[in-house]
Structure 1
Amino acid sequence: MKIYTENELLVAWDDLNFKVTICCVCFNHEKYINSAMEGFFAQRTKFPFKVLIYDDLSTDKSRDIIKAWQQKYPHIIETVFPEENQYSKGNRPLDLLLPKIDTEFISLCEGDDYWCVESKLQKQYDELATKPQLNICFHPAYTCLDGKILDNGYGCQGSTSKIIPIKKVIEISGGLMPMASMFIRTHALIHCRGDFPQFYRKLLRHSAIQIISAIKGGALYLPEKMSVYRSMHEGSWSFQNAKKLQAQVNNFIEFTQRNEELKKITKHNYDRIFDRVMLGRIYRFIGNSNLNLSNRIFSYRKLLKLPIGSYNKVHGLLALVLGVLKRILFKVKLLKAKRVNK
């Protein structure tokens, strides 16, 4: 894809009445941020867009790279450089960016992902601009794993455009929309921020962004793959926390809190669906056969302290028992296999 200079973009646009803000959150992405930026400035649009980059006090050279890009695009790039890492304090970067956004639309792309189609922004803009009944659209993405580009179906919902109802968005949760595919009508994301400030500051993760944005009308799915998701690289959240029990427990606790608050945000219209999602998470986590007994009990005790109702806590106990039985059966099978091999 051709990378356009700032002058080329400004000449192509009639004015600087920005229509879209590209929100990019970066942390220790020095190996990847150039690819993200190149994807932004390869976009061919009839409307002006700006880039709002948030770097959460990276310890590598990410900020230097971002500053170099800003020097090339001073009229388009705006940076937010906090003096303290906000993620470690439990604050969500997107909440810190929302007050700075004054455009009609928001497009998301984290610093380790990138766009691979030059018409991505224009296509999504055209779709939502002509469909006021919808507030979000998304598309599937390729996955980059160990340097290889794979088509593993991330975000795929078929080969034709369609509207995904809010019920399905809640059910699939974070696995539905690749972050770099999300294009959102700004007011849909911020309309309830004043009523739920702590939720936005502490719990506004990937899945919540999707659900809140899809409350009105669902989500528009476009079948073309137009972005690349980097999976399990050294700087990613998933890689850093994949084998840390405490991080997994914290993530589980945060999920339950987010689930309960989203019930309020959706005015309790979908409580049964949220409850089903909660049960699935309980059995996948506490019922995980890989957890040993002490870690399983530790996780269950954490569950008991959460405001999720006795029904879910009873299922937590059942998941614990089921997980223990699965682990016992797994060890029995290993023992039998060793005997056979002897």
Structure 2
Amino acid sequence: MGEIEVSVYCLAYNHEKYIRDALEGFVKQKTTFRFEVIVHDDASTDNTASIIKEYEIKYPEIIKGIYQKENQYSQGVNILEKYIYPKIRGKYIAICEGDDCWIDEKKLQKQFDALEKHPECDMCAHRAKLFDCSKNMVAKIFPAISKERVLTVEEVIYGEGGFLPTASLFFRKDILMNPMDFQRIWSIDYTIQIRGALRGGIYFIPETMAIYRWKSDGSWTLRNSDVKSQIMLNEKKEKMLLELNKETAGRYKDIIEKRLRKNEFYKLILIGDYRAAVQKENRCFMQELSPVKQAKLYIKAYFPLIDRLYQTIKGRKR
């Protein structure tokens, strides 16, 4: 079938409950081209590594495992740059974390065909089911875009990392191999999405082809869910966006400033300054919340005793 056209990378850590779904989604892909899947296990303490090894033995032409004896993330190692990038052989890259999975056997083929037909775009994405692990249910299908089209840079910047499912990202190798300065400040899926949109937007396929697990055991979301971590990440995001504005010569200044104002709005909520959060200058961000969330925020701001009583009752029911 020729040379490898697509390299998939999968980061796993204590994903014993989910990794088999991810691996099955990989090996069931039906393509007209060769692809490889580089799976990095960061010294899991459960059976994640042994499950990966099982699939590597069964599918040696597809699954390529990297097994750490000591956890690299906790040591501040850039796993992608040190371990993943040197092994990538495809001209395209796809991502799927170990706790997510693909549910369409033609996902890679569809995205490969899309970028082959649209050389002006560097990235392709699609919809996914968001599975809330804390409630054991599908919370929604996102993003709520029903037409096949090109997403703009502005949509991606304002939508932030949660705008597109990480498991849906498929892009040209250059996006990762030649990072811009703003990517170096914060190397996450949000910055990959921005970079992927800069040249010609992101080609979007309105098909649900993956499951994105939220609040799964050991996930990045849960590890950084406390207020201190959220504030630190907010500051890092601000630094990254300011560098993006500088690097793009102010071309996206208006949307970056709006995104920064929205970050400040959420920071006020994080630190508990609800009265400031609901002021007139934040009305546009309030309107983006559901009616229920808006009501709860107003109660916290103007009727804190009622909110505390509600939280006490809620805690007792648990």
TM range (shorter): 0.7 to 0.9
Alignment deviations for residues 161-205 of structure 1 (CA, whole Å, 9 cap, x no partner): 0011111111112122100011101113323x3x63xx6566111
Gaps of 5+ in 2: 274-296, 311-318
How far the C-alpha of 1:222 sits from its partner, in A, is: 0.4
1:154-233 aligned within 5 A: 154-158=142-146, 160-191=147-178, 193=179, 196=181, 200=183, 203-233=186-216
Secondary structure of 1:19's counterpart equals strand
Aligned-partner Cα distance in 2 for 1:37–1:190? 25
Identity %: 33
Count of residue pairs the alignment pairs up: 286
The answer to whether 1:291 aligns with 2:271 is: yes
Q: Who is 2:9 aligned against?
A: 23
Question: Aligned pair in 2 of structure 1 residues 190, 265: CA closer, same or farther (>3 Å)?
Answer: farther
1:92 and 1:201 in contact (8 A); partners too: no
Question: Aligned pair in 2 of structure 1 residues 279, 95: CA closer, same or farther (>3 Å)?
Answer: farther
Aligned-partner Cα distance in 2 for 1:335–1:185? 50
1:91 and 1:201 in contact (8 A); partners too: no
Question: Aligned pair in 2 of structure 1 residues 334, 223: CA closer, same or farther (>3 Å)?
Answer: closer
How far the C-alpha of 1:102 sits from its partner, in A, is: 2.6
Greater share of residues in strand: 2
Q: Who is 1:59 aligned against?
A: 45
How far the C-alpha of 1:149 sits from its partner, in A, is: 5.0
Match of 2:117 among 130, 133, 157: 130
Question: Aligned pair in 2 of structure 1 residues 219, 328: CA closer, same or farther (>3 Å)?
Answer: closer
- The normalised TM-score by structure 1 is 0.76
Aligned-partner Cα distance in 1 for 2:190–2:89? 23
The answer to whether 1:279 aligns with 2:265 is: no
How far the C-alpha of 1:19 sits from its partner, in A, is: 0.3
1:136 and 1:214 in contact (8 A); partners too: yes
Q: Who is 1:37 aligned against?
A: 23
Q: Who is 2:95 aligned against?
A: 108
Secondary structure of 1:50's counterpart equals strand
RMSD: 2.6
Aligned-partner Cα distance in 2 for 1:263–1:174? 17
Match of 1:331 among 275, 289, 304: 304
- The normalised TM-score by structure 2 is 0.81
Gaps of 5+ in 1: 1-13, 294-323, 338-342
Aligned-partner Cα distance in 2 for 1:212–1:116? 26
Q: Who is 1:99 aligned against?
A: 86
How far the C-alpha of 1:329 sits from its partner, in A, is: 1.6
How far the C-alpha of 1:58 sits from its partner, in A, is: 1.8
Amino acid in the other structure paired with 1:240: R
How far the C-alpha of 1:256 sits from its partner, in A, is: 1.8
The answer to whether 1:120 aligns with 2:100 is: no
Question: Aligned pair in 2 of structure 1 residues 267, 40: CA closer, same or farther (>3 Å)?
Answer: farther
How far the C-alpha of 1:111 sits from its partner, in A, is: 0.3
Q: Who is 1:10 aligned against?
A: none
How far the C-alpha of 1:28 sits from its partner, in A, is: 1.1
How far the C-alpha of 1:211 sits from its partner, in A, is: 0.3
